[in-house]
Amino acid sequence: MNVLTDNFPTFAEGFLGTLELTVYSSLLALALGFVTASFRVAPVRSLRAFGTAWVTVLRNTPLTLLFFAVLLGLPRFGLVLPFQVFAVLALGCYTSAFICEALRSGINTVPAGQGEAARSLGMTFGQTLTLVVLPQAFRTVLPPVGSILIALVKNSAIAGAFSVTELLGTYRTLSELGYNIIWTFVWIAVGYLIITLAISAVFNLMERHWGVAR
């Protein structure tokens, strides 16, 4: 217990760093995932091609390599930002590809006749997607999206290797101070468990609140 009590500020800083990474990266991933999912089902071929390329490249690229590409590549183009912003970009873009596929699978569960009926009423593609298709797909995509965001929390541990303050990185500081490494990792695991259980609880509440029998 002394590992936690003696170093509570260090653990708290790492916990808040991971929490901040999770929140900002999740918002970016959800926004980009929605846009790319819209592209993938759009009637315009160029948009479908862009969405397919985005998902294919990011889903098949190791996250560590993406971190290197963002942290080392963007500054070469004159874009110099704090390491934490780069980490949010890498995590958000990577996760958006998985969010996109979850949303697209949910969209595909909606009968095609729903979209055809909306178009016959004069609705545009955007109106059909946001007013007819997505509300019906929303309940279906909640479980996979929740799982993807939980995976994002664990993936955020990679950011510690790139000078970003996060929970897993606290073990280096405590190891140098001579604390028991096993108990250090136990408390780090507890911190991740708190965040992931909170996400799981939020999505369970959403499922119960918006769940509609299909």
pLDDT digits (tens, 9 = 90+) for 137-160: 788 888 899 999 999 999 998 888
Q: What is the pLDDT of residue 1?
A: 62
CA 85 – CA 24 distance, rounded (Å) = 9
> Which pLDDT band holds residue 199 (cuts at 50, 70, 90)?
very high
**Pair 14, 166: CB distance under 8 Å:** yes
The total of other beta-carbon atoms located within 10 Å of residue 185's CB is 15
C-alpha distance from residue 73 to each of 6, 55, 66 (Å): 40, 20, 10
**Residue 163, H or E segment:** none
Predicted model pTM: 0.86
What average pLDDT score do residues 82-108 get?
Answer: 91
